[in-house]
Amino acid sequence: METRRANEVEAERLVGAYADLILRLSYTYLKSTHDAEDICQTVLLKLMGAPARFEGPEHERAWVIRTTANACKDVLRSGHRRRTVGLEAAPDAAAPEEPESEVVDAVMALPCKYREAIYLHYYEGYSIREIAKLTGRSESAVSAHLSRGRAKLRTMLEGAYCEQGV
């Protein structure tokens, strides 16, 4: 009975600590709330069943981010995703929600490598060195992705904020 309660407490801690992060990160890859929820559930189950203990909270967080990114990439590579749409989802598909802002919309329109770097840097607060470790890229590649992503954002948002004098 004690073990079950301990597992429930640990599951609640993990969901509270990482569910939002996993959902947001997987949505940036997949652009689908339903797929992001599936990835969230998969990653949390892997985390709860992970036999290895982590060196600390940062190591655990890095593992979650890396596992989420890999799971999303697996879904994107899946041939099933490219060729099929569930029939039950097609007639009831709701109109996409309005983006929170033009900036978020522009970030979501970036190519994956720029979107990933910008998301991890600006939304999650990781340094270039940390992003390089998380994504398996060199620091110079991450720096280039950030720079090019910002340039693309600047071009995309130029007209919207010039009128406001920003």
Encode pLDDT of 49-99 as tens digits. 876 677 888 888 899 999 999 999 988 888 665 555 555 555 555 544 554
The answer to whether residue 94 is domain-embedded is no
Return the higher-pLDDT residue of 134 and 7.
Answer: 134
The answer to whether residue 117 is domain-embedded is yes
Q: Are residues 3 and 75 in the same domain?
A: yes
Say how far apart CA 28 and CA 107 lie, in whole Å: 9
CATH number at residue 30: 1.10.1740.10
> 64: closest CA among 114, 3, 72?
72
- Say which amino acid occupies 24: R
Q: What is the pLDDT of residues 119-129, one digit of tens each?
A: 899 888 999 99
pTM: 0.58
Rounded to the nearest 10 degrees, the angle between the axes of helix 2-30 and helix 57-77 is 50
> 15: closest CA among 45, 50, 54, 52?
45
Range of the domain at 125: 100-165
Is 50 exceeded by the pLDDT of residue 166? no
Is 60 exceeded by the pLDDT of residue 135? yes
